Amino acid sequence: MSRRKTERLLNLVVCLLATRRYLTAEQIRRAVPGYPDSDEAFKRMFERDKEELRELGVPLEVGSDQQGGGGEEIGYRIPPQAYELPDVHLTPDEAAVLGLAARVWQRASMAEAASGALLKLRAAGVETDVTTAVGIEPRVNTHDPAFPALWEAVRDGRPVAFDYQGIGRTSVARRHLEPWGVVSRRGRWYVVGFDRDRDEQRVFRLSRIVGDVKAEGPAGSVAVPDGVDVRRIAFDWGDPVSEPRPATVLLRRGAAQGPRRWARDVRPVEDGAAGDGEWDEAVLTFRDADRFAPYLVRFADDVVVLDPPDLREAVIQHLKSVLAGGGHPPEPEEIDGTVNGR
């Protein structure tokens, strides 16, 4: 939100709180700085501002001071008794936790909501500064495109459908889910719910959802069963991605020293089998194709993935992303311990 818009909305709230009678749109236009002179432009801006205030939870009351007779003009006001919050009493620890939680979402898709919550608490006189938490700088990454739609579906209790690419598969399958919750586990996001296709509870990793998530039912039609612990389901889920898998790769001779340190079954490739006869074939062990692929990309054209297909496809897609300027090879410490051979 721009500074100009923030000041205008703040002045509008102050104006409507200070009046005991309903103010017409024209009276508001004259009293609140920042509105344009054009009638049409003012009308559009004022309508947007009203919607903005309602979305912020401001109780905007519409009515008229005239009683009967017809022709009365509609006005607006904010009843102080409906707007004012009761005293908020938080211990220093509770306030610190709230501030820390907001910092977690600082660079995520919920940053705006977190900032708004802190602003309301500060307006109520609650100190939420977390500068005393020296050395703590948490971050939650929600760059998965499916996150906003799934979070809204969980919030609204709405079933969804999406295309999902399972572990080791090169094609996608349409899945229909009653979502119960979205959970972060080991730096990745998962949605937990009832899978209508399998007729059982399931866990899906958001990064493996392909394309858009579509709502498939009215809000309120999905309810979390009593006694269900969504986080426990996600944390206890037998994620097959955690099981080590072999990858067959080609390593250029005299290069790719990182993978060579922990490669096994290394053998020279005969002339002609790999083009120029300057390659070795080896087996690497990995757990997660999505995390392993960026590591291999760091070695550019000195590593070629032969198998499995999902790892080869992940490397190709990451290379395309890097070339398009949408990604970069990660630093070594970002790679999973298994990838580093430990």
pLDDT band (50, 70, 90) for residue 96: low
DSSP state of 185: E
Cα Rg, the chain, nearest whole Å: 28
Q: Does residue 200 surpass a pLDDT of 50? A: yes
Q: How big is the chain, counted in residues?
A: 342
Give Cβ neighbours of residue 267 (< 8 Å, ≥ 6 apart): 280, 281, 282
Structure tokens given for 276: 């120029």
Q: Does residue 95 surpass a pLDDT of 80? A: no
pLDDT band (50, 70, 90) for residue 164: very high
Q: For residue 118, count other CB atoms closer than 10 A to its CB.
A: 19
pLDDT band (50, 70, 90) for residue 334: very low
pLDDT band (50, 70, 90) for residue 338: very low
Range with the lowest mean pLDDT among 114-123, 125-134, 239-248? 125-134
Q: Supply the pLDDT for residue 166.
A: 77
Average pLDDT score over residue span 226-241: 75
Q: How far apart are CA 33 and CA 201, in angstroms?
A: 55
User: What domains sit in the chain, N to C, each tagged with a CATH number?
Assistant: 3-83 (1.10.10.10), 87-140 (no CATH), 147-241 (2.30.30), 244-334 (no CATH)
Q: Which residues pair with 267 in a beta bridge?
A: 281
Q: Supply the pLDDT for residue 50.
A: 92
Average pLDDT score over residue span 5-9: 88
pLDDT band (50, 70, 90) for residue 189: confident
Please tell me the pTM assigned to this model.
Answer: 0.42
pLDDT band (50, 70, 90) for residue 306: very high
The angle, 0 to 180 degrees and rounded to 10, between the axes of the packed helices 111-123 and 92-104 is 150
What spatial distance separates the first Cα and last Cα of the chain, rounded to whole Å? 47
